[in-house]
Amino acid sequence: MAPLTRIGLAGLAVMGQNLALNIAEKGFPISVYNRTTLKVDETVERAKQEGDLPLYGFHDPESFVKSIQKPRVIIILVKAGAPVDQTIKTLSVYMEKGDCIIDGGNEWYENTERREKALAELGLLYLGMGVSGGEDGARHGPSLMPGGSFEAYKHIEDILLKVAAQVPDSGPCVTYIGKGGSGNFVKMVHNGIEYGDMQLIAEAYDVLKSVGKLTNEELCQVFSEWNKGELLSFLIEITADIFGVKDDKGEGYLVDKVLDKTGMKGTGKWTVQQAAELSVAAPTIASSLDGRFLSGLKEERVEAAKVFKSSGIRDMLADQVVDKEKLIHDVRQALYASKICSYAQGMNLIRAKSAERGWNLKLGQLTRIWKGGCIIRAVFLDRIKKAYDRNPNLPNLLVDPEFAKEIIERQSAWRRVVSIAINSGISTPGMSSSLAYFDTYRRSKLPANLVQAQRDYFGAHTYERIDIDGSFHTEWFKIARQSKI
């Protein structure tokens, strides 16, 4: 009889296969299972080819579960929603009290809390674990965000510490996030920040290409250079790579042949919905979601372009003569300043949810585990961690002394980029909304007094005064009519 394995993994699409191989490579014998048995055989074959790794395939759920040592730990990586429930139902029949299930998908956090409660009644432990890093991260070291049963986490901590991405100055990119669905919620916001980051980079590209007339070769050089400084990150790195790839099916560069229509899987939408639910301003993230919605209207946009072109409005309103080097410098400053706003919004959202649910999340620790493995990994994150280390109760990244100084130094360039984009007819919703967020947050007095007066006028919603305590209502209509008599 074969010896029992240390852990199991069910769900062998590419992410599942790669994570299973990563676990095996780190020295933990692993059992794998998939409803489609061909995937099981494929994974076993990969394990042989990639170093004769201790990975064992099973074609039926019962033998799969029983092949794992007790207390059993099983990771499931299947599509969120009903497939997760079905997989849990299939496997839990053969599991015993004290065994543990870990969902590694992008799941809605309330589903995780529901499942944790239901499985607890069966004596089973449950974790919802965010996994970031894509296919490569899963294989060579992802950022891991487990939340739920702390007892369950301790069952698998030794594996996660070795499987996660390793960052020399801060350790493995994993920590126990907190109770309930906190791991899934943090991963959701991570993805929302990712949406914002990608939108801001795309806008920088648009301004440099459309206004500055940079070629793909020049763009590759610019982003490569940016990746050596304060913008050093995975997304800037891969952007430089993309500009250097020639089209293997025709002339020119591949990026120019990619349809301008962005897909999405839902986590960005969830992030914006949660921001609205919690009354947390997240305009940069929201604008990135709107950008994806509008990109999806490709056919409509093509027709709209014809309508406005017939009236003399082209894609570019005006070709402006610019100093190319100065534009590159300004866009770099605008991109960095906008990123600060985007991350500030994401961290505020996590903090608000943590307060609502009593999760007691440590924002500095979250940015530490995002420093490696994940899609938003960046040198910038170390600065954010230090900001929260200096002041764990920091109300907003914008008022951290170091980030405030950097925003001040960059705001003139930021405004120039947004202005030149507006005058050229180029939409920069991410940069524009980030700038508006900054300008709104830094002002001690806003025109909200008028909005509240309007609310009191038509709905008797009352208002507060700046000079007298209390709540007031004014018969605005009567006073206004009397003054006209």
Catalytic residues: 187, 194
Cα separation of 113 and 339, whole Å?
A: 32
Tokens representing residue 103 in the block:
């969902």
By residue count, the chain amounts to 485
Tokens representing residue 338 in the block:
């906008």
> What is the full DSSP assignment across 189-213?
HHHHHHHHHHHHHHHHHHHHHHTT-
Residue with tokens 């009567």: 478
Burial of residue 181 (CB within 10 Å: 0-12, 13-18, 19+) is buried
Q: Who's near 398: CB < 8 A, 6+ residues apart? A: 340, 341, 344, 404, 407, 438, 441, 442
Helix ranges (H only) for 227-323 are 234-243, 267-277, 283-295, 298-309
Helix ranges (H only) for 93-181 are 109-120, 134-140, 150-163
Q: Which of 259, 265, 220 is nearest to 239 (CA)?
A: 220
Q: What are the distances in angstroms from CA 76 to CA 79, 249, 364?
A: 9, 38, 28
